[in-house]
Each structure stands twice: as structure tokens, then as C-alpha cells.
Amino acid sequence: MHVAAVRFELHVPQSNSLKSKRATIRPIVDGLRHRFKVSVAEVDHQDTWQRCAIGVALVSGSHAHLQEVIDEVERFVSAAADVDLIETVVSYLEED
């Protein structure tokens, strides 16, 4: 079993309220859930208008497949409208 957690730090430059930010982030979160069948949530900066952190959890039977999905998820997030990807941090759960 291969497990990874990915954290995406995003800048939402056009946002002028929390409602506006969530309206921009919602299609990204929903798109990740439906397209890639991953667990995803806004994990930080909930009270900041122009900043967002999205966490994604992935599980796979092979490391190669896990890495392929991580790459596709990152491309999806970086291509999202009205957000700038600041940083991507990937953490792997190691088996003993």
C-alpha cells in the first residue's frame, strides 16, 4: 500500500471576501473529488480572503500509479482559473 498527502498553497488574487474565495475554491475541491476520486479539504487559511491551503489524500497499490495521480492532481490545481499555485508539498507514508 502506498499513501501520500499533498498540500497545495494557493493565492486567490481576485477575492475580496471569504464568500468570493470559497466560490473560487469550491470548483477545485469538487473537481478533485469527482475527477480523481481522492479525499480533499480546505485545510488552512479559512479566515483569510486571498490565501487557501488544500489538502489531498491518495492511496494506491503501486508507487508509480500514486506518483502519476499526484502529477495529474497538481496539473489540475495549477490550471484552475483565478488562483495561483504558490507551493506544493508532498508527504509519503512509509511502510515498515
Tell me the C-alpha distance between 43 and 40, whole Å.
Answer: 9
pLDDT digits (tens, 9 = 90+) for 7-48: 999 999 999 999 999 999 999 999 999 999 999 999 999 899
* For the chain, domain boundaries: 2-93
Length of the chain in terms of residues written: 96
Tell me the C-alpha distance between 51 and 9, whole Å.
Answer: 8
Integer CA distances (angstroms), 46 to 3, 20, 21, 43, 56, in order: 26, 12, 9, 8, 16
pLDDT digits (tens, 9 = 90+) for 50-87: 999 999 999 999 999 999 999 999 999 999 999 999 99
Integer CA distances (angstroms), 38 to 3, 13, 31, 60, in order: 11, 26, 10, 11
Q: Which fold has domain 2-93?
A: Alpha-Beta Plaits (3.30.70)
